[in-house]
Structure 1
Amino acid sequence: MSVAELDELIHQPLRLKIMAALHAQGAEPLEFARLKAIIQATDGNLGSHLTTLEKAGYVEIAKDFVGKKPRTRVAMTPAGRKAFRRHVEYLREVVEGVGGE
């Protein structure tokens, strides 16, 4: 039996893109504007999905200032990393199960 499983929160297409972008970044946080450009979302749409992921404990959002300019950075938590890996493994099994054997 596999430990991989569908994660309904991550499975949503925009949230999957968010998690993939953060995963590719490693432990370094991504600035909100950069993440927005990578996944091609609006401020409101990205903010809404980040709130959902933050409530699930998958991402951490840090707000600070650079000089007088506000900055928002997003990073994947260890729980988010684990959930993302399990979801990717689930997707791999689905793809290989349909195309293989």
Structure 2
Amino acid sequence: MSAAPIFDAIIHAPGRLQICALLSGIDDAEFAMIRDRIEVSDFVLSKHLKLLEDAGYVKLRKAASEGRQRTWVSLTPAGKKAFAAHVSELTRLAGIIAG
């Protein structure tokens, strides 16, 4: 018997799915860049990041840059694993529909 499918409700929300997809291909990204890429407000992005951080999927790092405090975000190893499993499950579901 195969392992149970991994459908992650935390990652599945469109904004969080976009954040994970964006971060999956890079080491880290600055808060404003993520906000601009997924086209949400600071408040909405903060809420998404808090949920992902509480789940252990992202790590936030504060650093001064150009005289301002900036927040950098990266996927944790657990976040990378959860995102990959979620995408795999979405792909499997899409195959059922297309098949």
TM-score, normalised by the number of residues in structure 2? 0.93
Identity in percent: 39
In structure 2, how many angstroms separate the alpha carbons of the residues matched to 1:49 and 1:99? 31
2:20 aligned partner: 19
2:51 aligned partner: 52
In structure 2, how many angstroms separate the alpha carbons of the residues matched to 1:67 and 1:38? 21
In structure 1, how many angstroms separate the alpha carbons of the residues matched to 2:5 and 2:76? 19
Q: Deviations over 1:52-82 (max 9, x none)?
A: 0000000000011124211110000000000
Structure 1 SS opposite 2:73: strand
TM-score, normalised by the number of residues in structure 1? 0.91
List structure 1 runs of 4+ shifted beyond 6 angstroms.
none
Number of equivalenced pairs: 98
Map 1:19-98 onto structure 2 (within 5 A). Answer: 19-25=20-26, 28-98=27-97
CA RMSD of aligned residues (A): 1.1
In structure 2, how many angstroms separate the alpha carbons of the residues matched to 1:44 and 1:11? 19
Q: Which runs of 5+ in 1 are unaligned?
A: none
Cα deviation for residue 98 of structure 1 reads 1.4
Are the counterparts in 2 of residues 3 and 86 from structure 1 also a CA contact under 8 Å? no
